[in-house]
Structure 1
Amino acid sequence: SNLKLAKKIIVPSSNTKNIVLDIYKHLTIDVIEHGYNQANKESNYSNIKKNKKEKFNIAFIGGISEEKGLRYLKGLIAEARKSEITIHLFGMAENKKYNTNKQNYIYHGEYLQKDLPNLLLENDIKLVCLMSMWPETYSYTLSESLIAEIPVITFDLGAIAERVKAIDAGWIFPIHSTAKDIFKFILTVKSNIAGEYQKKKENIRHYLKEMKSVKEMANEYARIYNKTINTFPVLAYDTNDTQSKIEFYKKSRELNPSSIKSIQEKKEYKRIKNIIKGSAPFKRAFREMKLYRETYKNSKWRNKILFKFIWYRIICLNTCSTFTKKYY
């Protein structure tokens, strides 16, 4: 019922839209992908010395909890021992055991978001593992991996899989895959680095040429907000600022669409009733009640809210106080 009151519902991915519509089938939802500003990649990456015996580096990014694939971090570390695969963690693991270096495992710790693409490049990361066990709504870590032109491996789940498929920027595994399955595949990629892997990198480079910026995303939102605000009162205001509320009510009266006003009137009645019944100070409860009555002079709830105030803040309060003194 709350979502139906919204003039516009926006989500950042089609997958998220489909999840919501699967439950709430009669809503109208628009998709606007998040934007991301591409950082400048440092030229010193090209000066890193390489040789044929060089380790094949893969990375996990962000806060790695069970939901974000901690079991796969553990499993791949175990599989990578005595191999030419090195696993890196940029971020923090929920299990502190993995916030320290181990054999074939390098823990980098926390990072600044703007630095991540360069950190990936400086450490010659070849693959990024995005192993979320639940459907993400977008994934900025995917954006950061793509900016560094690094293919990813992930599960067939949520917005990450949706975006990877659209770009063909990596490989997608069934959610029930084991760490052993994924490690075997990484070995395959390592042995064929000049083949399909390079095609994925080319796909990413092509995508980056038209990647949406934060400004472009903001412009899409601005067009929607401007169009909506012109025909509907702004519902967001500071509930503790009386002047802000007066301005809001003024706008409501100026626009005066009866059905909208009725909905807002009812919402305000419920909100103020909860304030009166709750633990807010007496003065604030009185001010809220008074402002409502002055604003909605023809409301069928105008006197009702006054009676609620008298009951909960005067009669009930005194009765309860007397009862407490008498029996406790």
Structure 2
Amino acid sequence: MHPTVTIIIPIYNAYEDTNQCIESVLKYTDKQHKILLVNDASSDPRIFELIKKFALEYTHIQMLQNQENLGFVQTCNRAFGESDRETDVILLNSDTIVTPQWLEKLTHAAYSSPYVATVTPLTNNGTVCSVPNWLEYNDIPEGQTILSFAQLIEKVSLRKYPHIPTAVGFCMYIKRKVLDEVGYFDAENFGRGYGEENDFCCRATKRGYFHIIDDATFVYHAGSKSFKAEKQKLIEDNSKVLARLHPRYFPEVHSLIQANPFKDIIDNIELQLKIDNFKRLSPLCFILHNSIDEPINNHLGGTEYHCAALISNISKTRPIYTLFFNQNSSLIEFDIYYQQQKINFKFPCEFQEKYRQQYFHHERHFLRLMVGILQYFQPKLIHIHHLIGLPLADAIAALQKVDIPYILSLHDYYLICPNYNLIDYQEKFCFEHKTAESCQVCIQKIFNQGEELKYQWSILCQNLLAGATLIIAPSKTAISYFEREYPQLNLQEKSKVIRHGIISQANQQITKISYNDKLHVNKKNQTLRVALVGSINIAKGAKLFIDLVDKISCQQEFVNSFSFEIIGRFNLPLPEHIKNVRIRNAYNREELGFLLENIDIAIFPNIWAETYCLTVDEVLSHGVPVIVTSVNAASDRVKEFGAGWVCNSTSADDFLNILIYLQKNPAEITKVLTKVQNFPIVCYEEMAQNYLNEYAKIQNCEINYDITLEISPEEIFQAYLLKSDLSIYQKELMEQSIETLQKELVELNQLKVMILAMETSKLWKIRVAWLNLKKRIGIKINDSWMQERGDKINSAR
């Protein structure tokens, strides 16, 4: 059991501060502990009346009155001597304010080791104990009070109890046995104050004790923001005395400052202050399948670009969280975006390896982490963009446990079938012809699992859709498939169509490129320049495209009628006999306008009902008409605004017929081009505002966060420390350094070749022989080249 404590408060004037200090001690300290108020002959008569009032009102308060001003050191020594000899003591400045559980935490720290002599809490003004800015005077951080800041520090504390060379006197817990063994303050050398606690701690250190900071406790210290000349002179004089008595003291302090063992504590508090601030700003959490900044699980696609645009605009005024599972590194990555800053957390989360490729398994660690992250960071609303890569049942269980309202975006058909584009094993879009029997065959063929996969998947996804407060899709086409798949859910009542934005407002007016002049001079039967744009796989028509260009290549009359450019990745090899196709590979979105300069038409031969197709809008924004399939959701926009042509089937023949017609009738392209120029492009800002309007209808829901957390503050900080050490800029510098090193290595090899040529010359051989002769007859050789090279060359021969 820890002992009782006597809290010694030396007082000299400062009525308001003193009253505040005593009030806080009474409020936050158990009455089993004693309070000793020592009035050092204050010139303000109110001080005597104040402490007398407290002493009369509370039986555990004792007052001492100095008949003359003794100064701080002798006042403390008198209090040490007259305090209860069975208690430890806390020396507490009268300009401090203590906080809940302060004494219990300090005592716990003091008895964490029998060799602890003193304990000092964290404070806003206490040199090595100062937070959040170390070694500085700090105001209470914006948005915090003394109480809330103390609570935050206790909640997030790493409880490292770091060692320090000396306690800091504003609040100094001293064990009674140390006080008895070491003695009181040195009044002879430090009678007027400043340096007495440092001297005391040095004497304790020489007896084998050490001093710590309690990084779970915060005590406010008003102190002085500036030094008067007299005070500064006293500090300088006493520092000389301290250096004489304890020569190692100042070097140890210097070493402490250089090493900064408190960095983690300071960084953790600063991080938690940011998180605490984010919580007050109605944060949103996006759950998705990939990073929005760099390709981690796969190449960046429409969903990632869409989320990046939303985050870029919304995070100007409120924080956006993103959560996804990094499959390559087995990490849950959690990012915070706010006002052009990004904070990254990486939570190790190893899945059971043998189940990695299966859809239904319980990952206990993942569930705990996901629940813990959402509880800790407290988003007001969750927006689910994609769950692929996450254990679906656990993700749904986590959402149910935290009970935070969530929105679902339908970027594809993952919540209908784990084969998210609904392309069956025969490489056909299956929705219109699927049956229970065909699903069973397809599941076995694609996933090598039984019929229970479809049944379980349907049940889980129904639960997820039913629990959503709102369902958002970029097109009516996307919603229609879900309404047909889950008619019992009546999704129409809580569904909303919001078109994707593709460009910022600033660039909206300068993006379109007029093709009128070029097309007016086009002649009948001139080569039609066709582009295939995007990351093209089977679902997006890779095989259809190969079939199309193959048909053109096999018919001599069409060979010179069309030229094709693939702008983006093409996931299948092109047959060698196809010559009229140029592949540009992956591109930056900013380059698309330039890449489309010489293009007449872009084709989108999708064989699946893509829910939106951002690339169609991007191409139209650069003034290029499009041909799309009827199953593509973009077909509705193309029809509505006359921005191109819709192929009624997903066959190469139908695409070829449209191209032949347009190649022979360029005036038709000119007609459509006028409509393309008037195609309504949605800008990012408009899209973001549409989403904010929907968020505003939901975010005022009451959420209960007063629950036992599944995750600790220390785990949060460790996840923060796991963030990538290299910024994009640093990576670029590293790449440049590697490139420079490679060039230097080439130059070095060239020099080696030159040296070798020189060393094999007749003159070199004569020089080596002459130097060796001098060496044999005892003449000292002052030739560094010979010393480095000659002996080796001679011995090698």
TM-score range, shorter chain: 0.5 to 0.7
CA distance in 2, matches of 1:116, 1:88: 12
Q: Which residue of 1 aligns with 2:538?
A: 66
Alpha-carbon distance, 1:223 to partner: 1.5
Q: Which residue of 2 aligns with 1:80?
A: 552
Alignment of 1:1-328 (within 5 A): 1-25=463-487, 26-27=490-491, 28-37=494-503, 38=507, 40-41=510-511, 55-81=527-553, 82-97=559-574, 102-121=578-597, 124-176=598-650, 178-194=651-667, 196-208=668-680, 211-233=681-703, 249-250=705-706
Give the SS at the match of 1:9: strand
8 Å Cα contact 1:41/1:118 also seen in 2: no
CA distance in 2, matches of 1:175, 1:109: 27
The percent of aligned pairs where both chains have the same amino acid is: 25
Partner amino acid, structure 1, of 2:593: P
CA distance in 1, matches of 2:474, 2:657: 33
CA distance in 2, matches of 1:232, 1:85: 61
CA distance in 1, matches of 2:549, 2:666: 21
Q: TM-score w.r.t. structure 1 length?
A: 0.64
Give the SS at the match of 1:107: strand
8 Å Cα contact 1:80/1:104 also seen in 2: no
Q: Render the CA deviation track for 1:254-287: whole Å, top value 9, x for unaligned.
A: xxxxxxxxxxx9xx9xxx7xx9xxxxxxx99xxx
Partner amino acid, structure 2, of 1:135: A
Change (3 A) 1:154 1:232: farther
8 Å Cα contact 2:512/2:621 also seen in 1: no
Change (3 A) 1:41 1:222: closer
Change (3 A) 1:43 1:135: closer
Q: Which has the higher contact order (CA 8 A, sep 6+)?
A: 1
Partner amino acid, structure 2, of 1:83: N
Alpha-carbon distance, 1:48 to partner: 8.4
Instruction: Between 77-86 and 215-224, report the one with greater CA deviation.
Output: 77-86
8 Å Cα contact 1:118/1:148 also seen in 2: no
Alpha-carbon distance, 1:24 to partner: 2.2
CA distance in 1, matches of 2:577, 2:690: 44
Partner amino acid, structure 1, of 2:642: D
Q: Render the CA deviation track for 1:108-140: whole Å, top value 9, x for unaligned.
A: 11110121122111xx21111101111111111
Partner amino acid, structure 2, of 1:69: G
Partner amino acid, structure 1, of 2:567: F
Q: Which residue of 2 aligns with 1:239?
A: none
Give the SS at the match of 1:154: strand
Alpha-carbon distance, 1:19 to partner: 1.0
Structure 2, unpaired ranges of 5+: 1-462, 554-558, 716-797
CA distance in 1, matches of 2:585, 2:639: 30
Alpha-carbon distance, 1:47 to partner: 10
8 Å Cα contact 2:475/2:499 also seen in 1: yes
CA distance in 2, matches of 1:42, 1:48: 14
CA distance in 2, matches of 1:44, 1:12: 27
8 Å Cα contact 2:502/2:683 also seen in 1: yes
Change (3 A) 1:92 1:6: same
- Could you say what the CA RMSD is over the residues aligned between the two structures, in angstroms? 3.2
Alpha-carbon distance, 1:13 to partner: 0.6
Partner amino acid, structure 1, of 2:537: S
Alpha-carbon distance, 1:44 to partner: 11
Give the SS at the match of 2:535: strand
- Could you say which structure has the higher helix fraction? 1
Q: Render the CA deviation track for 1:73-95: whole Å, top value 9, x for unaligned.
A: 21222233323200110012111
CA distance in 1, matches of 2:646, 2:512: 30
CA distance in 2, matches of 1:174, 1:47: 30
Change (3 A) 1:42 1:14: closer
8 Å Cα contact 1:62/1:90 also seen in 2: yes
Alpha-carbon distance, 1:101 to partner: 10
Give the SS at the match of 2:596: helix
CA distance in 2, matches of 1:42, 1:145: 9
Partner amino acid, structure 2, of 1:151: P
Partner amino acid, structure 2, of 1:229: Q
CA distance in 2, matches of 1:205, 1:48: 14
Partner amino acid, structure 2, of 1:35: G
CA distance in 1, matches of 2:640, 2:513: 29
Change (3 A) 1:76 1:119: same
Larger Rg: 2
Partner amino acid, structure 1, of 2:587: Y
Partner amino acid, structure 2, of 1:185: I
Change (3 A) 1:109 1:191: same
8 Å Cα contact 1:155/1:175 also seen in 2: yes
Partner amino acid, structure 1, of 2:473: V
CA distance in 2, matches of 1:30, 1:19: 14
Alpha-carbon distance, 1:222 to partner: 0.9
Give the SS at the match of 1:143: helix
Alpha-carbon distance, 1:61 to partner: 0.9
Runs of 4+ in 1 over 3 A off after TM superposition: 38-54
Alpha-carbon distance, 1:230 to partner: 1.1
Q: Render the CA deviation track for 1:219-262: whole Å, top value 9, x for unaligned.
A: 111121122111343xxxxxxxxxxxxxx604xx9xxxxxxxxx
Alpha-carbon distance, 1:182 to partner: 1.8
8 Å Cα contact 1:16/1:158 also seen in 2: no
Alpha-carbon distance, 1:160 to partner: 1.4
Partner amino acid, structure 1, of 2:539: E
CA distance in 1, matches of 2:577, 2:617: 26
CA distance in 1, matches of 2:628, 2:514: 29
8 Å Cα contact 2:502/2:682 also seen in 1: yes
Q: Render the CA deviation track for 1:287-325: whole Å, top value 9, x for unaligned.
A: xxxxxxxxxxxxxxxxxxxxxxxxxxxxxxxxxxxxxxx
Give the SS at the match of 1:144: helix
Structure 1, unpaired ranges of 5+: 234-247, 254-264, 276-282, 285-328
Alpha-carbon distance, 1:46 to partner: 9.6
8 Å Cα contact 2:561/2:663 also seen in 1: no
Give the SS at the match of 2:469: coil
Q: Render the CA deviation track for 1:50-77: whole Å, top value 9, x for unaligned.
A: 7758531001111211111112221222
How many residues of Structure 1 are paired with residues of Structure 2 in the alignment? 237
8 Å Cα contact 1:63/1:93 also seen in 2: yes
CA distance in 1, matches of 2:623, 2:512: 13
8 Å Cα contact 2:478/2:611 also seen in 1: yes
